[in-house]
Copies of this chain bind each other. A is one copy, B any other.
Amino acid sequence: MYRTNTCGELRASDVNNTVTLAGWVQKVRKMGGMTFVDLRDRYGITQLVFNQETDAALCEKANKLAREYVIQVTGVVKERSNKNLTIPTGEIEIIASGLNVLNASETPPFTIEDDTDGGDDIRMKYRYLDLRRNAVRSNLELRHRMTIEVRSYLDKQKFMEVETPVLISSTPEGARDFVVPSRMNPGQFYALPQSPQTFKQLLMVSGFDRYFQIVKCFRDEDLRADRQPEFTQIDCEMSFVEQEDILNTFEGLSKHLFKSILNTEITEPFARISWHDAMKLYGSDKPDLRFGMQFVELMDIMKGHGFAVFDNANYVGGICAEGAAHYTRKQLDSLTDFVKRPQIGAKGMVYARVEADGTVKSSVDKFYSQDVLQQMKNAFRAKPGDLILILSGDDVMKTRKQLNELRLEMGSQLGLRDKNKFSCLWVVDFPLLEWSEEDERFYAMHHPFTSPKPEDIHLLDSDPGAVRANAYDMVINGVEVGGGSIRIHDSGLQNRMFKLLGFTEEQAQAQFGFLLNAFKYGAPPHGGIAYGLDRWVSLFAGLDSIRDCIAFPKNNSGRDVMIDAPSVIDQAQLDELHLSINLQEQ
């Protein structure tokens, strides 16, 4: 071992011990015949002292050190005269008697500090140096700790981790599958799984009863800020359960994580809201409930008074921002600009302030009497000093989504979205099917194995769009951390689903044959959930992007700029795979 101790563990109680440390040079300072070196490793920083008077040669050697040199130092632990109580080792220093340079370092392209001077691109190129920064490494420590706790909890609940294959087969609908040519089976391809969905259902057919896996999944799609071509799921499935059992079990897992990782005790059951109410009250299937500002619909009150925008709208609704009447015209204009951005797409915004005397002053006063405005105020239960913001539009769902963006923006502006506060929620009763105007057919909102709610099964033929599913999402602070469903285990019902989704029997067989076959041999009632680990870690770490909790992430073009992947491969490799590339077709 190159060391007796780490750079994070020596304390006043170690004074007078002779120790050997090893690590990276964080900083070198010369001060009146003394050279001070901050030595860093994963565990902390320890101050080393080299004394010109005691050992000039050694001190000279220390003077040649530079940032990020790797050194080994022997010396005696002494109490500092000038204590630094901001770090755990700040009461001591090492009076060095030996110095061994284990490796030199070129000057790193950016500073290895919490506040680095390196931009995003250079830090990604030199990710191995970026990972030296505490701020980055601590996210990965958190990730490690969370997976340890997830496994510990699920193991105690008798879940078994089972590895499902990474090299599987592509499905006709798997347009976003990564494929892998097989050298041993020329012309044939494996596919990388977008999720282990079918395998975990097979494991339930196999009687595994409780399965989980922390597993890489893959999707070859255009990447947004919060997506990676490879991502990690906490994938779970249980047999002989109803929806309530799954919600309870995984609420338990979540509470365990909050307690063990954040030391936050959540005693109350998670809030539950139906998808229908979530859309109506928040315009989102993943509402951020750290704050209120529920939508109030105003069709009855605001229509028919001559304001054409509202009169012609199919949706008029708004939010009340408590105590925000002080917003200036400039701030309000900028909010209007915000909702009019193409990503949001509103045509405009109406606002109204509740004055100190209770009267309402709005941007559409010429159309509305104070009496109507008071009705509106009452609908919001608005108080003097509150600000009311109203959107309208032709398309109810679209307008609600715009209002959702406005609500989140106001929550942020008013400081209501504290990263250290957590609001956990189950969104339940998702619609089973989604109608596609374009394709004039229904699609499964989750996947074709999701079970309808038993009480809605009678609507499957008469009004399929109204059928709700036994499907649920876990939402924390407006982030969908996980989602799942009870699966269909009855083959008659499964066949009805396939018919509804426009599958012929042959198509269903081609796409899901091995699962349908498996279901012939005694499938138990089952259901499950899958969490996005990257998202969950980001949320606990208070990060804005999942990238910061991934050791070696890819950029928006799916590239790893550090190793320069993907890249061209040898012709010989292509030949062996019997493949050729036709770029001219582009």
Residues on A facing B (Cβ under 8 Å): 1-3, 6, 22-24, 40-43, 68-70, 72, 102-106, 108, 126-129, 131-132, 137, 140-141, 143-144, 147-148, 151, 155, 160-170, 172, 175, 177-192, 198-199, 202-203, 205-209, 216, 218, 220, 222-223, 229-230, 232, 240-242, 245, 489-490, 514, 518, 520-525, 550-552, 554, 557-560, 562-570, 572-573, 575-583, 585-586
Contacts and interface: CB of A to CB of B under 8 A. Distances in A.
A182 B245 CA distance: 41
Contacts of A129: 206, 518, 521
B185 A522 contact: no
A42 B237 CA distance: 14
Nearest to A182: B566
- Looking at A72, A147, A202, the one whose CB has the most chain B CB atoms below 10 A away is A202
Contact of A169 (B103, B183, B563): B563
Given A167-B554, A229-B167, A580-B579, A566 B68 contact: no
Given A489-B103, A566-B190, A180 B178 contact: yes
B169 A567 contact: yes
Contacts of A566: 167, 169, 180, 182, 185, 188-190
A2 B229 CA distance: 38
Contacts of A189: 566-569
A581 B583 contact: no
Contacts of A41: 207, 209
B582 A580 contact: yes
B577 A179 contact: yes
A490 B105 CA distance: 11
Contact of A187 (B188, B223, B578, B581): B581
A128 B220 contact: no
B583 A578 contact: yes
A428 to B, nearest CB: 18
A108 B103 CA distance: 64
- Interface residues of chain A: helix, strand, loop or mixed (majority): loop
A216 B187 CA distance: 24
Given A179-B573, A199-B552, A205-B128, A520 B106 contact: yes
Contacts of A105: 520-522
Contacts of A582: 578-580
Contacts of A131: 203, 206-208
Contacts of A126: 521
A465 to B, nearest CB: 29
A350 B368 CA distance: 113
Contact of A565 (B168, B524, B579): B168
A292 to B, nearest CB: 35
Contact of A569 (B179, B186, B583): B179
Given A70-B524, A199-B552, A564-B169, A161 B147 contact: yes
Given A41-B209, A163-B550, 5 more contacts: A23-B207, A129-B518, A140-B162, A162-B551, A179-B181
8 closest Cβ pairs, A-B complex: A169-B565, A131-B206, A105-B522, A188-B566, A2-B240, A182-B566, A68-B522, A42-B209
A309 to B, nearest CB: 42
Contacts of A522: 24, 68-70, 103-105
Nearest to A40: B207
Given A230-B165, A522-B105, A524-B102, A551 B203 contact: yes
A236 to B, nearest CB: 14
A1 B245 contact: yes
A102 B1 contact: no
Nearest to A579: B579
Interface-central residue, A128, A155, A564, A569, by most chain B CB under 10 Å: A128
Contacts of A199: 551-552
A186 B220 CA distance: 12
A206 B137 contact: yes
Contacts of A141: 160
B128 A140 contact: no
Q: Which of A166, A199, A206 has the most CB of B within 10 A?
A: A206
A133 to B, nearest CB: 9
A180 B140 CA distance: 27
A65 B570 CA distance: 60
17 contacts: A2-B241, A24-B522, A42-B209, A140-B162, A151-B151, A163-B232, A166-B230, A167-B554, A167-B566, A168-B560, A170-B567, A177-B573, A179-B180, A199-B551, A578-B583, A579-B581, A580-B580
A44 to B, nearest CB: 12
Contacts of A167: 178, 218, 229-230, 554, 560, 565-566
A576 B189 CA distance: 15
Given A102-B489, A179-B180, A240 B1 contact: yes
A522 B69 CA distance: 5
Given A567-B189, A579-B579, A585-B575, A137 B220 contact: no
A558 B185 contact: yes
A161 B232 CA distance: 14
